[in-house]
Structure 1
């Protein structure tokens, strides 16, 4: 059947974010089917793939193959989604996804030829690798799964989407819903979780025992984020080791080559605006701009969706302006959403240039493309440079920013942003005094404090000063003058100190003891007083403290929103005292009542209030079930870990610290790494859980970067797409 064209209000919310696609799809050529002959994959210890390819096309092919081999359907299905054809395979429930990507695909297809041959070769090789994998593993995919993906489809995996959540909030403010239960579901990717983020450090030669620069990369995201450790080599072209992301070749990459490396951490910036345009009262579907009548652009888009054994179609209507998509029309206004990244197609170009760079200047030239509009970048190189960039394609606003969910009245071009804040004006540090750089998602003002801290922003939409407990702990760990080795950096990174305890425990102990406690409460507060203020696996008192803090902070069944800081701390964080706040308890009475409750609750959950941290907090993957140290962001650990409650009441790590890469830049890079959830998400794989216990214990593996190390660690060699036996560990 064919559905009628319609635009109900709940569909329009998604519709305004959508993109129209080029409908041309490729066929796998005989040459692409033979790409396996031009590349060898060597898996070393723990299954890390080292891609040795004759050219970039073969390298892209091999990367797609190993991602698919280790993650099954994930990468091919991501490319399917980026092609705008998910609903044709998976059914109507995927139709919103297809509408969401289609229009942007058209912009990528239009500009695809402008990319360098090298980038197109990787995209097209990656598509060929996905096609080959699907062809040889039809039984693993749903019926109708295509194997005709193109380089444009792969490039479209890097689409920067509009924020559906922000648009929904804007529309809800304009028209508050009568029933909140009817709102569309919130996207899980629209907002960083409380225990997500990242850590990054860099040390100059003057701060290291070897006299060589050191870089630490340590993302903290969901363990389903798909960080994928791999090594890509094309002789004379690229030799890069680091993390790719499952689903594409260039999503967000960090790592190193023989000359330099970088890490990323999330930052906070405002990259979008809502505009209100005046309707032209004389001309339908038009608006006034600089005194002229400008027509809206109307598009009818059609998506195929699986309907039983056949296909049906649905067509929707969309309106847009050169400023961005129309999100609402009412009261004589046309509301438009303008966002950075709309139509951006060069992210892969930028990352490949970064991967191939041989010097800081070359690397910065790649960054100046600004195709990656977000993230802090922390950098180190063999020449001894360390560098930090608060990266943002930040709009150069014509007026000071206001309410983020209020539409800016626009009469003409003078009211809208058309340029970015200059690259040279972004916050950045090059070889600062003290020889260190750090970032743990706090604002850039505190990246290095040896030269003093300037909290004044050059532009009104720069990130406001903020310094988390985690960042304060980092400064305590590395802000001195001690020289460090690569091994020292890893030891410091695994510090289990809970800085929150340093700030509030004394107040808690004093408040509880002032009530002359007896029985278990008296014993429990003595336990907390003796506790060493760490979240180490063997620590006792830490699990009780965590349960108390959550209760005191307002976290209860059905409520996962923390109380405001002024309801929790006697002194909240203050830019005038950034390294010693927050501290103290705001409400001793509530703190005592919460502690009494926590003693009984800990006993109820675990049988005793003096249970160790590691008895409760676990890494569980496959047959691995071991204690782990580290805690949530609000508790002030550097090793951030978030947990899911299992049926037995224990907590298993599922977010936060998970991928660690530390490298020292000598004549030959020397590095260590560990990936908590392993190279594969397939439970039958030997590389599903083989790094889990190592990670939990704070151990790492030696990175094989040179040919000699790769050959020494080789577990299996193969040509992807060539029939072979199943590997053994």
Structure 2
């Protein structure tokens, strides 16, 4: 018996998949600022190292994220997690079915990542609750990259449909309000310039995503999904890549560079899902009618267990109904409503990013992009051969009918329902355009380069309508032109604190305030004095921006949003509009509200921007330049109120990556506002926060 046990133990140690064997095939060196450099013999060992170092820096949150993706979090924490668990169990089941279909190289990274997390749990049991397992698999890691149909689109349709049936306007749900806020506040900036625009003659790439900093999240216990992890990975003869991974994932949404090329991602916002209205069968229950024949609806029942309040284990079973075309999201007496989403079931996102990381040329990279396994991002590109590019990446359905928005398309035949994607070549691709630049700041691809207007007749018909908001307009002004600049000068441009909304309305606002001064009292007179002297920026030392921002947020919160601009945005003058104040009476009322709001918070209306707006992390408490994208700042920062009446940056600009592709090797510069770890006792917790506040790079 002892001999048999010894044999089993030795076999486990010698297994190439054991934690000990994987650890022996990877070397991890942390350099200044705690950045991990992972040198591995193979991709599984690379994944092992990545899972382990993320756990070192973010504790139990990495393993907890894998528990969540199994759909078993409620088992340990209670019924409050059941909604998420039911969705996660659907995704995990798909991961089980599809893992073997992945490229073996991607399988290796996922499996290694899971084992790296397992090993950290085994070696640091004191950091974890007793129930935390150490048996995660590559399937669990893959489940974080499996995509699903949009519950938000389904809920929005149902609310809109029911409101229309009742003759009323639908009220947005809390989830829709959060989604709308994210559309305004989240996103990214990306630039690529070719050698004709740089002093060195080399192409330069900027990656600058804007998401939540998760300052309210307990990042040592729960993953946020929106935060970035800086790392350098190398497998000799296979790949070498420097960039960002999403915390808690083997891949997530990745940007960065290898020796030959790099890319940045920016959110795109097309309408992916389409709802179809099918006739309900008049006599057969749980059937629709399609092609003149009964179409059965399939009930899928799923059971999840959860921890009851008395500590016992309870279960709940829920049903969803499906057709071969997608989930049934609503039924009434006459219709069955089915949602079809081209993202549903896509599982190859990590595989695509892995292939992109290993690509060595533009042609190879573009071929990988044809997978479109990650549909929610645009991609901006630069390489060592001097190429720059921007691709509007999306899995758009090729609709056999006009897009219907939040209403349903009638489907009586299978041919009424989309079955293919818009061809890859029908989506906008800008490759080495004149002017030597491409840019993206989360607006439509029409204005990626002003020298090359997008011909809408040559691209997919269901692209979003043209849009160019103030941040994008400033981006074009900053990156356009003919000057040749160095990376340091580009970084100064990127960190400009200009506030375009102020530039567009200030003449009108001052005119209105001066006219109202005789009736408006001391506040109006003070507003004129402060704003007339202000430089129209959100620079830390600037005085006037605090008052203007407070006014602007009240003004933009008008009961009727239409008519706020004297000249609304005009497609024929895309970089000159909107401008001017359209609702003059509301503008005066908004100034009254601005003074009242600042007084309530104990803030002087002429306070320096940086005295109020701060970057606060650990021992760092420094003035911040930059403002909300609503106001047009390219250095897009959003803030939350602090207990002492100040504003703390908590969203937006956080991760800045520059890379210049020189002849010998790429040269990268970065800064990550919230640092490399969530462990407050670590010097790497707050050491980059001050650099970020000052616009410096490491």
TM-score (norm 2): 0.91
Q: In 2, Cα distance between the equivalents of 1:29 and 1:114?
A: 27
1:443-458 maps to which residues of 2 (within 5 A)? 443-452=444-453, 454=455, 458=459
User: Counterpart of 1:675?
Assistant: 672
Q: Is the 8 A contact 1:164 1:190 kept in 2?
A: no
CA shift in 2, pair 1:394/1:693, >3 Å: same
User: Counterpart of 2:218?
Assistant: none
User: Counterpart of 1:12?
Assistant: none
Q: Is the 8 A contact 1:51 1:59 kept in 2?
A: yes
Q: Is the 8 A contact 1:229 1:243 kept in 2?
A: yes
User: Counterpart of 2:275?
Assistant: 274
Q: Does the alignment pair 1:475 with 2:476?
A: yes
User: Counterpart of 2:234?
Assistant: 233
User: Counterpart of 2:157?
Assistant: 170
Report deviation, 1:604. 4.9
User: Counterpart of 2:536?
Assistant: 533
> Which among 56, 75, 94 is matched to residue 88 of structure 1?
75
CA shift in 2, pair 1:175/1:511, >3 Å: closer
Q: Does the alignment pair 1:356 with 2:377?
A: no
> Which among 383, 387, 399 is matched to residue 389 of structure 2?
387
Equivalent residues, number: 667
User: Counterpart of 1:637?
Assistant: 633
User: Counterpart of 2:564?
Assistant: 568
Q: Does the alignment pair 1:198 with 2:201?
A: no
Q: In 2, Cα distance between the equivalents of 1:628 and 1:386?
A: 32
Report deviation, 1:182. 13
Q: What secondary structure sits across from 1:248 in the alignment?
A: coil
1:282-293 maps to which residues of 2 (within 5 A)? 282-293=283-294
User: Counterpart of 2:147?
Assistant: 160
Q: In 1, Cα distance between the equivalents of 2:343 and 2:382?
A: 27
User: Counterpart of 2:33?
Assistant: 46
Q: What secondary structure sits across from 1:194 in the alignment?
A: helix
> Which among 87, 101, 105 is matched to residue 114 of structure 1?
101
User: Counterpart of 1:217?
Assistant: 207
Q: What secondary structure sits across from 1:158 in the alignment?
A: coil
User: Counterpart of 1:615?
Assistant: 611
Q: What secondary structure sits across from 2:331 in the alignment?
A: strand
Residue-by-residue CA offset, 1:280-332 (whole Å, 9 max, x unaligned): 33433222222232322222222122235443322222321111112222213
User: Counterpart of 1:423?
Assistant: 424
Report deviation, 1:460. 2.6
Q: Is the 8 A contact 1:600 1:609 kept in 2?
A: no
User: Counterpart of 2:223?
Assistant: none
Instruction: Name the structure, 1 or 2, with higher relative contact order (CA <8 Å, separation 6+).
Output: 1
Report deviation, 1:181. 14
User: Counterpart of 1:628?
Assistant: 624
Report deviation, 1:520. 5.1
Q: In 1, Cα distance between the equivalents of 2:314 and 2:591?
A: 60
CA shift in 2, pair 1:180/1:513, >3 Å: closer
User: Counterpart of 2:406?
Assistant: 405
Q: Is the 8 A contact 1:32 1:125 kept in 2?
A: no
CA shift in 2, pair 1:288/1:607, >3 Å: closer
> Which among 99, 109, 130 is matched to residue 117 of structure 2?
130
User: Counterpart of 2:329?
Assistant: 327
TM-score (norm 1): 0.88
User: Counterpart of 2:585?
Assistant: 589
Q: Is the 8 A contact 1:127 1:154 kept in 2?
A: yes
User: Counterpart of 1:695?
Assistant: 692
Structure 1: gaps of 5 or more residues = 1-26, 556-561, 702-729
Q: In 1, Cα distance between the equivalents of 2:406 and 2:468?
A: 25
Q: What secondary structure sits across from 2:352 in the alignment?
A: helix
Q: Is the 8 A contact 2:446 2:453 kept in 1?
A: no
Q: In 2, Cα distance between the equivalents of 1:334 and 1:630?
A: 49
User: Counterpart of 1:720?
Assistant: none
Q: In 1, Cα distance between the equivalents of 2:207 and 2:560?
A: 32
Please provide the CA RMSD for this pair. 2.4
Q: Does the alignment pair 1:578 with 2:580?
A: no
Q: In 1, Cα distance between the equivalents of 2:373 and 2:593?
A: 51
CA shift in 2, pair 1:110/1:465, >3 Å: same
Q: Does the alignment pair 1:650 with 2:650?
A: no
Q: In 2, Cα distance between the equivalents of 1:309 and 1:235?
A: 50
CA shift in 2, pair 1:540/1:367, >3 Å: same
CA shift in 2, pair 1:534/1:484, >3 Å: same
Report deviation, 1:336. 1.4
The farther-off stretch of 358-367 and 332-341 is 332-341
Q: Is the 8 A contact 1:681 1:688 kept in 2?
A: yes
Q: Is the 8 A contact 2:95 2:140 kept in 1?
A: no
